[in-house]
Chains A and B, each alone.
Chain A
């Protein structure tokens, strides 16, 4: 049973992640009075890209060539390091919240390096913008999870999810405030509105897309897949660390099934919220983004202060 659960823990992120990108796109299409592609379209896109030839610039170094594999691997490890559907599998090796944060920072680091590696103007400014946002988002992310960590007296994400802090009277407000801070960072780290427009290639607005413009074929597929994984990891982190309702606390088959279903429902709710948000608000000007990330940081600071 334990082997099966661990296997599920490792493969759930890459298997489920593209579906949620499809859900977001579908809801956004509905908001635009379009029928929209099937929610499984991202899987078909990945399949198509995997079978395409690719063009790699002669100026590209090993960083450009290996980055897709590195960031994809990072998202798989990050996915396995957070409580997805069960808390009783205590991952003491990579389950520390600081390790997960720095794994995800590693993702951003390599992507930004790859953006600059081939020397194109787009890649350069994309990387510059990405690192600016990432540097400002880091504080909010660390402090939001630190709030939970201080409340739970542990830095292991599985232990923290196991304690159901949101249901404790004295931690209710701090957890909600920290979650608000976390959600802003989720949008920033995953290049969603109002930080970035994931469906544009307009040089004035793009951040994430600018860094991956030179990629094609299999490597582009891996990058797109890794981006989907990252969104899933963040959503699962938010869903299970802040609102761990339904998560399996014992090794019974029933509890695990409920845990998986609860995770999928919670992540779907996150995706619906993101899609609605992206449909009703405009992208912020780049120079207004630090203010929003400051809000995230201060909310987390207040959360620690009121504990």
Chain B
């Protein structure tokens, strides 16, 4: 049952990224990121019970505060301030996007990536899901035209890497993990400031319209 619960959490991660690919509303994008991050927090709580490291609690608290509460609220406020209810479109249309999602998932499950997914053979199924989530996040960053969606894509990629690292036994020391969370926080703050500046300058967050960056 424990393995099924972990699979459920990873399925939430996977499906949330698929949803991020097809949703048209920025508000839904922000909320979905919050839900996805909550799944990661629960995964880390599970990891805490397995390892028993007390310092993990601090990291979990930090991740919960930043990824589940601050980041989505901040994005929603940004969306409301600039009236960005609807996200700009994708480079590929929905059917093509979905076909590529299917292909990327198949690649993650293929024998080509078996050396990666077999790092810990007991966690093979979990690593395969995390790897496909990783690929889909990368594709999200590439395919979306909206700056908010791209930021969420990067954050989703980071969530996928965390999930992969947990099951691949690649967890780092607490100091490094706190540093990474702090890094993401600073990165997110700078990205948000840039978003505001880009919107002021171009009147849109559609990255396809930013053709005169030298001005």
Contact = CB atoms under 8 A, between A and B. Distances in A.
Interface of A: 167, 169-170, 172-173, 176-177, 180, 290-291, 294-295, 298-299, 301-302, 305-306
B22 interface: yes
19 contacts: A167-B4, A169-B125, A170-B125, A173-B10, A173-B125, A176-B11, A290-B95, A291-B22, A291-B94, A294-B94, A294-B95, A295-B18, A295-B22, A298-B99, A302-B101, A302-B105, A305-B105, A305-B106, A306-B132
Nearest to A296: B98
Residue from B4, B8, B99 whose CB has the most chain A CB atoms within 10 Å: B4
A305 to B, nearest CB: 5
B29 to A, nearest CB: 16
A295 B96 CA distance: 11
B24 to A, nearest CB: 9
A298 B98 contact: yes
Nearest to B1: A167
A306 B8 contact: no
A306 B94 contact: no
A173 B129 contact: yes
Main DSSP-derived SS at the A contact region: helix
B4 A302 contact: no
A301 B105 CA distance: 10
Given A169-B125, A298-B102, A306-B109, A180 B15 contact: yes
B7 A169 contact: yes
Contacts of A290: 95
Contacts of B4: 167, 169, 172
Interface of B: 3-4, 7-8, 10-11, 14-15, 18, 22, 94-95, 98-99, 101-102, 105-106, 109, 125, 128-129, 132
Contacts of B95: 290-291, 294
Residue from A167, A173, A291, A305 whose CB has the most chain B CB atoms within 10 Å: A173
Main DSSP-derived SS at the B contact region: helix
Contacts of A180: 15
Contacts of A291: 22, 94-95
Nearest to A168: B4
A170 B22 CA distance: 27
A306 B105 contact: yes
Contact of B7 (A172, A298, A299): A172
A299 B128 CA distance: 16
Given A172-B8, A294-B94, A295-B22, A302 B3 contact: no
Contacts of A172: 4, 7-8, 11
B211 to A, nearest CB: 29
B2 to A, nearest CB: 10
B125 A301 contact: no
A291 B11 CA distance: 22
Residue from B3, B99, B102, B106 whose CB has the most chain A CB atoms within 10 Å: B102
Nearest to A167: B4
Nearest to B5: A172
Contacts of A294: 94-95, 98
Contacts of A173: 7, 10-11, 14, 125, 129
Contacts of B10: 173
Contacts of A299: 18
A283 to B, nearest CB: 15
Contacts of A295: 18, 22, 94, 98
A169 B3 contact: yes
Given A173-B125, A298-B101, 11 more contacts: A167-B4, A169-B3, A170-B125, A172-B4, A172-B8, A180-B15, A291-B94, A294-B95, A295-B18, A298-B98, A306-B109
Residue from B98, B101, B106 whose CB has the most chain A CB atoms within 10 Å: B98
Nearest to A305: B106
